[in-house]
């Protein structure tokens, strides 16, 4: 790896701060030609408080990895098994186990992901229909399309991300609610076609 950028909020650190790993001997050009500060790499002043907060959050995340990763993986696997067994015409996007321990992405045939998100939000469940960097877009994920999903499946995608505060009760609540919401949306779409 030559370069790795990361955002602190992804591991419960302060928002608005991130880091860049540069392999020893790696070259990085300045972002602009104006003020050559920070070892001639960028202009501006370091946000020391946010940097310290990010470092502490990273330290805690690394300490918790041996217990947190298996816990999240077990919750993720229960979620995947539950969704696939309870909702027909559902696809898991990606490998069932060779994936991040806190992430599951599904596609539901016959519904739109944004309508699904709205119904989940009304019930207090936060999710996404695409990647975080494409939030707000009504277009299906270009990644899912590139993986060969047809447009209808790609537009019906849902990304569930688990975290430090996710409990088994949260998973069970979602598994109770999600099949009802998908069935309702499919029925509504079917009645609109008549």
In order along its 194 residues, the chain shows pLDDT tens digits of 999 999 999 999 999 999 989 999 888 776 666 556 666 666 678 899 999 999 999 999 999 999 999 999 999 999 999 999 999 999 999 999 999 999 999 999 999 999 999 999 999 999 998 655 545 556 788 889 888 888 889 999 999 999 999 999 999 999 999 999 999 999 998 776 65
Cβ 14 vs Cβ 51: under 8 Å: no
Domains of the chain, start order: 3-53 (no CATH), 66-193 (3.90.1150.10)
With CA atoms as reference, report the closest residue to 179 among 105, 77, 82, 112.
82
Which helix (H) or strand (E) segment holds residue 84: the answer is helix 48-86
So what's the pLDDT on residue 99?
A: 95
Pick the catalytic residue from 48, 126, 133, 194: 133
With CA atoms as reference, report the closest residue to 120 among 91, 161, 152.
161
So what's the pLDDT on residue 55?
A: 97
Residue identified by tokens 């505060």 is 165
Predicted model pTM: 0.84
Token digits for 7?
A: 């955002």
Q: How far is it, in rounded angstroms, from Cα 135 to Cα 137?
A: 5
So what's the pLDDT on residue 189?
A: 83
Q: How far is it, in rounded angstroms, from Cα 17 to Cα 8?
A: 6
User: Is 133 annotated in the active site?
Assistant: yes
């Amino acid at each position: 790896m030559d370069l790795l950028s990361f955002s602190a909020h992804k591991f419960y650190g302060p928002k608005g701060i991130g880091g860049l790993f540069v392999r020893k001997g790696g070259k990085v050009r300045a972002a602009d030609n104006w003020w050559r500060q920070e070892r001639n790499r960028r202009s501006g002043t370091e946000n020391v408080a946010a940097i310290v907060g990010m470092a502490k959050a990273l330290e805690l995340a690394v300490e918790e990895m041996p217990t947190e990763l298996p816990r999240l993986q077990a919750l993720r696997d229960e979620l995947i098994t539950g969704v696939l067994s309870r909702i027909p015409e559902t696809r898991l996007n990606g490998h069932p186990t060779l994936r991040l321990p806190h992430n599951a992405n599904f596609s539901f045939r016959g519904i739109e992901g944004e309508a699904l998100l709205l119904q989940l939000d009304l019930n207090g469940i936060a999710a996404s229909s695409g990647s975080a960097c494409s939030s707000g877009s009504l277009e299906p994920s270009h990644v899912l399309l590139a993986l060969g999903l047809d447009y209808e499946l790609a537009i019906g995608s849902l990304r569930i991300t688990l975290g430090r505060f996710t409990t088994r009760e949260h998973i069970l609540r979602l598994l109770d609610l999600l099949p009802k919401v998908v069935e309702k949306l499919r029925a509504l779409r079917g009645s609109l076609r008549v």
